[in-house]
């Protein structure tokens, strides 16, 4: 039966202390004198006097500004500008230690807001950062097509689809004389959101976390990749799980007690591929691999692989040190040049840590992305080191983590990211995320623009 896709959001406040961006310090004597003056000026109106000098209520606690509520500070700096002799707003050093060199404090802040509220973060003061940079920041989406893609906005009666197809798609159908269409035996399946959950880091594997991820995947109708060894250890099964099998775990394949929609092959193994095809004839087979050269991808394509999960490290770097944006474009271009892009599905993971990275990765050529760390940060996972890959990364989840809270935070994150994807699609006049794949004309790349503008000028360094 048809149901309109919707992710249920609900406010889920933090369960572990979350350091605010700023720390407010106030000189008590100066504040006392100021309050006295204000009380006289406003004829004893305590409410007005105690609301100064911050409209956000930082100085409006039970003991006024003598114990400023730094968590309410938004960093507008009005108090410091008006009363520099009395108030000091400083960067909170605890906040500086959130995340790591790639997953910066700003990303952690944004994800926590999205996971808490399920809403799109809107900054009233406008964007104050740089307009270009490294990695994903060197790519801009062109949202100048302000046409109405639907009759009444992106959440209206008509639907902007965020569904994507995963699986092998035949290049054409044959209609034999006896009727019906002949095609491949394994049909593609759809998920309503181009976002999956990738294998969680080894340091965090626990029954509770797996239950949260599985429940979140079920509620958002998406998929979770888990190694078969983990499935066996925690006795997990379900249609939202993609077993990851390869190398030493190949023998565990026989212990899988369900037919998953897709199975990931961890690196190329012809014998194992044959075995999976025999044991699970209805499951789609996906090859998980580093971002490899175009020739190698085409070699696997000719060997019958139609779904690829290409993996970069948590910082979005491939084995040769190139950023994932460039690697995705290369992989996508390989299949376009070979004339078979529509037959394959490209999934990708590595470095997708913000809502805007999803449409950017899709424009570069992916069909869907797999999250590695963003959904963990939504559950207030703390980085304990520079986290680069599944094995060496160390995270810590809050002690008070509960299944319901964790599921809601992940759902909120997905709802917020989906809304932001809808905004991008709406602003581009697209009604289907499948149309966004490889739409490079909807993007601008800082390097290309700079080359166009400055090449030939002395001092310009490509």
Q: With respect to ligand SF4, which residue has the nearer C-beta, 93 or 339?
A: 93
Tell me the three state secondary structure of residue 344: coil
Q: With respect to ligand SF4, which residue has the nearer C-beta, 56 or 140?
A: 56
Concatenating the DSSP letter of every residue in 226-269 gives: EEHHHHHHTT---TTEEEEE-GGGGGGGGG--S--SEEEEES--
Binding site for ligand SF4 (CB under 6 A): 24, 54, 56, 58, 73-79, 89
Q: With respect to ligand SF4, which residue has the nearer C-beta, 23 or 229?
A: 23
Q: In which element (H, E) is residue 22 found? A: strand 22-26
Q: With respect to ligand SF4, which residue has the nearer C-beta, 89 or 324?
A: 89
Give dist(CA 331, CA 437) in Å, integer.
13
Q: With respect to ligand SF4, which residue has the nearer C-beta, 88 or 141?
A: 88
Q: With respect to ligand SF4, which residue has the nearer C-beta, 105 or 420?
A: 105
Q: How far is the CB of 214 from ligand SF4 (least distance, A)?
A: 40
Contact 387, 393 (CB under 8 A): yes
Helix axes 403-428, 207-220, angle to 10 degrees: 40
Give the position of tokens 């400023």. 68
Q: How far is the CB of 53 from ligand SF4 (least distance, A)?
A: 6
Give the position of tokens 């004309």. 441
Q: With respect to ligand SF4, which residue has the nearer C-beta, 19 or 194?
A: 19
Q: How far is the CB of 95 from ligand SF4 (least distance, A)?
A: 14
Count of Cβ atoms closer than 10 Å to residue 153 Cβ: 13
Q: How far is the CB of 11 from ligand SF4 (least distance, A)?
A: 22
Q: How far is the CB of 110 from ligand SF4 (least distance, A)?
A: 18
Contact 434, 120 (CB under 8 A): no
Q: How far is CA 170 from CA 50, 230, 261, 305, 334, in A?
A: 70, 33, 18, 12, 18
Look at residues 3, 335, 294 and name the one whose alpha carbon lies nearest to residue 168: 335
Q: How far is the CB of 130 from ligand SF4 (least distance, A)?
A: 22
Output phi, psi for 164, to 5 deg.
Answer: -130, 150
């Amino acid at each position: 039966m048809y149901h309109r896709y919707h992710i249920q959001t609900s406010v889920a406040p933090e369960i572990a202390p979350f350091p605010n961006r700023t720390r407010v310090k106030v000189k008590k004597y100066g504040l006392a004198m100021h309050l006295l003056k204000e009380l006289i000026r406003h004829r004893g109106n305590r409410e007005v006097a105690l609301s100064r000098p911050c409209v956000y209520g930082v100085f409006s606690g039970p003991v006024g500004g003598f114990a400023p509520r730094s968590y309410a500070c938004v960093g507008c700096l009005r108090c410091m500008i008006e009363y520099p002799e009395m108030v000091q707003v400083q960067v909170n050093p605890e906040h500086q230690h959130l995340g790591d060199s790639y997953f910066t404090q700003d990303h952690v802040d944004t994800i926590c807001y999205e996971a808490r509220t399920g809403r799109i973060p809107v900054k009233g003061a406008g964007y104050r950062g740089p307009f270009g940079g490294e990695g994903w920041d060197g790519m801009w989406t062109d949202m100048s097509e302000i046409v109405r893609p639907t009759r009444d906005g992106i959440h209206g009666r008509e639907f902007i689809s965020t569904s994507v197809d995963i699986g092998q798609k035949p290049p054409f159908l044959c209609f034999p004389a006896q009727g019906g269409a002949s095609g491949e035996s394994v049909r593609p399946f759809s998920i309503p959101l181009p976002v999956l959950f990738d294998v969680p880091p080894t340091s965090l594997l626990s029954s509770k976390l797996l239950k949260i991820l599985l429940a979140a995947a079920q509620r958002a109708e998406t998929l979770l990749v888990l190694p078969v060894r983990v499935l066996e250890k925690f006795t997990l099964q379900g249609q939202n799980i993609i077993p990851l099998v390869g190398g030493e775990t190949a023998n565990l394949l026989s212990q899988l007690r369900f037919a998953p929609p897709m199975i990931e092959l961890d690196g190329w193994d012809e014998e194992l591929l044959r075995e999976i095809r025999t044991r699970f004839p209805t499951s789609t087979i996906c090859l998980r691999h580093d971002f490899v050269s175009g020739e190698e991808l085409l070699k696997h394509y000719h060997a019958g692989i139609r779904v690829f999960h290409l993996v970069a490290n948590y910082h979005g770097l491939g084995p040769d040190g190139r950023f994932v944006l460039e690697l995705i474009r290369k992989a996508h271009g390989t299949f376009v040049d070979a004339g078979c892009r529509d037959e394959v599905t490209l999934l990708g993971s590595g470095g997708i840590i913000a809502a805007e990275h999803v449409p950017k990765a899709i424009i570069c050529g992916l069909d869907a992305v797999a999250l590695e760390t963003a959904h963990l940060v939504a559950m207030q996972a703390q980085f304990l080191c520079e986290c680069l890959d599944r094995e060496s990364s160390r995270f810590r989840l809050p002690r008070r983590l509960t299944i319901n809270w964790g599921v809601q935070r992940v759902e909120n994150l997905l709802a917020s990211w989906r809304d932001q994807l809808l905004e991008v699609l709406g602003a581009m006049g697209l009604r289907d995320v499948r149309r966004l794949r490889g739409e490079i004309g909807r993007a601008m790349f800082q390097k290309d623009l700079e080359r166009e503008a400055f090449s030939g000028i002395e001092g310009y360094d490509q």
